[in-house]
Chain A
Amino acid sequence: MEEIKDVVLNYVIEEYLEEDDEEITYDTPLISGGIVDSFSMVSLKRFLENEYSISIPDEKATPEAFDSVNKIVALVREFTG
């Protein structure tokens, strides 16, 4: 099974990066680095919830918790056990 972090990384690339953008890593700051608009976070949250059959409460879905692929993976693991 594909590692969670690769699933998330691929989703972020597909969803948020434009053709001209530079490559990102697991630790690239996504929201504070201006790659993901905090406005557009909802699709990432919905994607994670659908993909892993989890429900992330709004108070956990903060810009800080979504700020890198590694942080997102940690958040997902909290709910997948």
Chain B
Amino acid sequence: MSYSETIRKIYLDQIDQIKNAGIFKEERFIHSSQAADIEVEFPAGSSLKKVINMCANNYLGLSSHPDVVKAAHEGLDTRGYGMSSVRFICGTQDIHRELENRMTQFLGTEDTILFPSCMDANAGVFEAVLSDQDVMISDRLVHASIIDGIRLCSAMHDTFKHSNMEHLESKLQLHADKRFKMVITDGVFSMDGDTAKLDEMAELCNKYGAMLFVDDSHATGFIGKTGRGTHEKCGVLGNVDIITTTFGKALGGASGGCVSGRKELVEMCRQKARPYLFSNTIAPVVVSGVLKVLEILSESTERRDKLENNTKHWRKGLTEAGFVLKEGDTPIVPVMLFNAKLSQDFSKDLYNEGIYAIGFFFPVVPNGQSRIRTQISAGHEIHHLDKALEAFVKIGKKYGILGLAKQEIIEKYGL
């Protein structure tokens, strides 16, 4: 027998170590469609509990929108369930190219290529467009998928301190001898909810002849006046060379992603990016749903406007109640607790109060930076937010942290 008891024990020991370190991840089973109000089975086997979802990436509340669901049904009826092929063999339908064109138009770029996910887009893009003569200079807080993509690429890699433009400039000078320099950042950072300084970055890239790469997964559809993304907010539409983004968050939340940007770079991905070449095409039903989402967004900014108002209401409520928040204006609103155990206890208490929000701690965020990450949606109504706030205040009082500054919370609970 190849899978011996010795091998089994080694894995069981590793799983125990994860449990003992307090970082064992458990899934919660949701029995309803994704929305502000959901029904959850947790722990497994327990009866269903109705809770308000405060941790979905469903920023525009479109995951279960009736028009999107209807369009997906129509896609299923007219284009079938699966394509049983990668794109370049026999997996490209007219609607795949239509979605690429619509994304190009929406993002204000030159061309777009779809990937099975944004994780795949980030995993494939760097290797496809850079070589060992080049350098990638990334913000130290970029998403894990970018780090994986960087690891797969033969170009030199360096980092700059989070959003520190002086440090970035020093790195552009240090690597002046490289053929191509690519500056890499998230548009909105997923754990902190802050926004990259794309205007300053674009200026530096221009000064030092570098390309600019942005992963706008937590921005596409709602950041900027018309929801184009961080590049719209920062006034640099057309100045970002590569944008990667996802359809798995605001744009319907199903799956899929893309690389959008300079025509030649997109073409290089079509020729060389391995997750594009060796993974299945996006299912027609998903493509049909995303096309409907883009239609909805092009008709009105109502949903992103509502999201903006909801975010302001939520931030104001938490601030007035005396919580320490990460500063920002995006729908990612981290409530800082600093201590890992406190973040877990707080999350459990919230769940008992009917509020679903997760505590994050090391290694997902730096040590001593534990938090509850809340995410606001256009699918929330004010009564959802007010009920959630009531629960936050009740539990905040229980732990005696309301009105305390960062240092005071740390003194009380430790890091």
Residues of A within 8 A of B (CB): 18, 20, 37, 39-40, 42-43, 46-47, 50
Most buried by B among A20, A37, A39, A50: A39
User: In the complex, are the beta carbons of B159 and A46 less than 8 A apart?
Assistant: no
Which chain B positions have C-beta within 8 A of A40?
140, 158-159
Q: How does the 8 Å CB contact mask read for B286-313 relative to A, with 1 for contact and 0 for none?
A: 0000000000000000000000000000
User: In the complex, are the beta carbons of B140 and A42 less than 8 A apart?
Assistant: no
CB distance from B14 to the nearest CB of A (A): 19
User: In the complex, are the beta carbons of B174 and A39 less than 8 A apart?
Assistant: no
- Interface range for B: 10 to 19
User: In the complex, are the beta carbons of B158 and A42 less than 8 A apart?
Assistant: yes
Most buried by A among B147, B156, B159, B175: B159
User: In the complex, are the beta carbons of B174 and A37 less than 8 A apart?
Assistant: no
- At the interface, yes or no: B397 with Cβ under 8 Å from chain A? no
* Of A18, A39, A42, the contact of B161 (CB 8 Å cutoff): A18
Which chain B positions have C-beta within 8 A of A20?
368
* Of A39, A47, A50, the contact of B159 (CB 8 Å cutoff): A39
Besides the contacts A37-B140, A40-B159, A50-B174, what 13 more A-B pairs have beta carbons closer than 8 Å? Answer: A18-B161, A37-B159, A39-B147, A39-B150, A39-B157, A39-B159, A40-B158, A42-B156, A42-B157, A43-B171, A43-B174, A46-B175, A47-B174
Which chain B positions have C-beta within 8 A of A50?
174
Q: Supply 19 A–B pairs (Cβ within 8 Å), ascending by A.
A: A18-B161, A37-B140, A37-B159, A39-B147, A39-B150, A40-B140, A40-B158, A40-B159, A42-B156, A42-B157, A42-B158, A43-B158, A43-B171, A43-B174, A46-B158, A46-B174, A46-B175, A47-B174, A50-B174
Interface of B, helix, strand, loop or mixed by DSSP? mixed
Q: Bound state CA distance, A20 and B367, in angstroms?
A: 11
The closest CB in chain A to the CB of B162 belongs to A18
**CB-contacts of B155-214 with A (<8 A):** 156-159, 161, 171, 174-175
Q: Bound state CA distance, A46 and B156, in angstroms?
A: 11
Which chain B positions have C-beta within 8 A of A47?
174
Which chain A positions have C-beta within 8 A of B174?
43, 46-47, 50
CB distance from B328 to the nearest CB of A (A): 18
Which chain A positions have C-beta within 8 A of B156?
42
The closest CB in chain A to the CB of B171 belongs to A43
The closest CB in chain B to the CB of A46 belongs to B174
Q: Bound state CA distance, A50 and B174, in angstroms?
A: 9
Which chain B positions have C-beta within 8 A of A37?
140, 159
Q: Bound state CA distance, A56 and B157, in angstroms?
A: 17
The closest CB in chain A to the CB of B362 belongs to A34
Q: Bound state CA distance, A18 and B171, in angstroms?
A: 17
Which chain B positions have C-beta within 8 A of A43?
158-159, 171, 174
Which chain B positions have C-beta within 8 A of A42?
156-158
Which chain B positions have C-beta within 8 A of A39?
147, 150, 157, 159
Most buried by B among A20, A39, A43: A43
CB distance from B223 to the nearest CB of A (A): 26
Q: Bound state CA distance, A47 and B158, in angstroms?
A: 12
Which chain A positions have C-beta within 8 A of B158?
40, 42-43, 46
The closest CB in chain A to the CB of B151 belongs to A39
Q: Bound state CA distance, A11 and B161, in angstroms?
A: 14
CB distance from B111 to the nearest CB of A (A): 30
The closest CB in chain A to the CB of B367 belongs to A34
CB distance from B308 to the nearest CB of A (A): 31
The closest CB in chain A to the CB of B156 belongs to A42
Q: Bound state CA distance, A40 and B147, in angstroms?
A: 12
The closest CB in chain A to the CB of B164 belongs to A18
The closest CB in chain A to the CB of B406 belongs to A20
CB distance from A64 to the nearest CB of B (A): 19
Which chain B positions have C-beta within 8 A of A46?
158, 174-175
Q: Bound state CA distance, A47 and B156, in angstroms?
A: 14
Q: Bound state CA distance, A67 and B175, in angstroms?
A: 23
Which chain A positions have C-beta within 8 A of B368?
20
Q: Bound state CA distance, A47 and B174, in angstroms?
A: 8
Q: Bound state CA distance, A39 and B24, in angstroms?
A: 26
CB distance from B200 to the nearest CB of A (A): 20
Q: Bound state CA distance, A39 and B156, in angstroms?
A: 10
The closest CB in chain A to the CB of B135 belongs to A42
CB distance from A53 to the nearest CB of B (A): 15
Q: Bound state CA distance, A7 and B156, in angstroms?
A: 24
Q: Bound state CA distance, A46 and B175, in angstroms?
A: 9
**CB-contacts of B243-257 with A (<8 A):** none
